[in-house]
Structure 1
């Protein structure tokens, strides 16, 4: 007996000329994006009665931003930027140079403009950018340090670029380049919460004595 002919047409399955059913072949759904990481509010810490303990708890929350890849990649101790959530070396290889804007003849602005730029790449979906794009100064190099060591560094004017605590708050709460961490471009996970929440937590930490965890 001759086998019945099987014909698969777009949207239909035919066997021996008889239409059996309509078949659709939908592309698989892309995996859902992970929800953005959040920050606790200042109000979440009011139940901690001891100001020093509250200050430490507040800075631990601040540390979620400080230790995120969006901040750490631009605060390298080795004066060479890193990339990605795994903080791999910058590709192409790059160093900060004397002023943090790249070496002579190859400034950061060679690739990084005043705003994020989308690309057609699969691995790199956008090139980050900001009008002040640069590595953090050497005084604010953090990678590889404990949160306690970072805390002691950022509150010490001799080690934070000469900033007072008020100036430190202004920098963290309002600086446009710091704010890039919450608008990092396609393909990058933003820093937790918002810059406004981050600034509020920093101010509350200062108001409770700017205590630091043990280094």
Structure 2
């Protein structure tokens, strides 16, 4: 894929006013990923239910990170940056969570991250993934406690019909989920690695998939 010359150039190509770029919040300074505890770090918790809850709480470092919540908004607009501001330019989820006709996610987001050569407004890269889209509104995490998210993740009416085993597979192997650890230049990744995250989910399921108290 060709690199975009600048964020401003992208707006011009889309026929959008340059004022949109000026209004966009500056991209956050990139930081190294924070760690996640290993499954073995929870072996000292003898009570299986308490161990299961502790493991899930560790995964909350990822689930409640802005990198994930931005794509699981409570409304019809995605969020962006570490302060989770509304996406600029203004876009909406549409019926299939891929945006509205004429302004779908793929209008700007390609199959991979693209570095911006001539940076504008602090934007260093444009995010991308082959399946870039918003999570369905039933999977909204914004504003919810970790306990509420846990119950939601296990609810097949709100998790895309996935079994617990499929949830474990999704968290540990899904490419779009994995974007959180590879968010492109200028963005803070979620803690740990996807492999560690998947291992925690496997251990959580094996210990009964218990949720924190509300």
Looking at both structures, which has the greater relative contact order when contacts are Cα pairs under 8 Å and sequence separation is at least 6? 2
With structure 2 as the length reference, what TM-score do the two structures score?
A: 0.83
- CA distance in 2 between counterparts of 1:94 and 1:148 reads 30
Rg (Cα) greater in structure: 1
How far residue 165 of structure 1 moved from its aligned partner, in angstroms, is: 0.3
Whether the 8 Å CA contact 1:149–1:214 is kept in 2: the answer is no
Structure 1 residue ranges (4+ consecutive) displaced by more than 2 angstroms after TM superposition = 32-36
SS in 2 for 1:139: helix
| Structure 2 partner of 1:125 | 124
Whether the 8 Å CA contact 2:49–2:207 is kept in 1: the answer is yes
Q: Write out aligned runs for 1:59-78 (5 A).
A: 59-78=56-75
- CA distance in 2 between counterparts of 1:53 and 1:92 reads 44
The reply to whether residue 57 of structure 1 matches residue 54 of structure 2 is yes
- CA distance in 2 between counterparts of 1:187 and 1:214 reads 36
CA-based RMSD of the aligned residues comes to 1.3
Q: Write out aligned runs for 1:165-204 (5 A).
A: 165-204=164-203
SS in 2 for 1:125: strand
Higher percent of residues as helix: 2
Whether the 8 Å CA contact 2:181–2:194 is kept in 1: the answer is yes
How far residue 33 of structure 1 moved from its aligned partner, in angstroms, is: 6.7
SS in 1 for 2:210: coil
| Structure 2 partner of 1:23 | none
With structure 1 as the length reference, what TM-score do the two structures score?
A: 0.83
Superposed CA offset, 1:21-68 (max 9, x none)? xxxxxxxxxxx9744200000000000000000011000101000001
Aligned residues: 184
> What runs of 5+ residues in structure 2 fail to find an aligned partner?
1-28
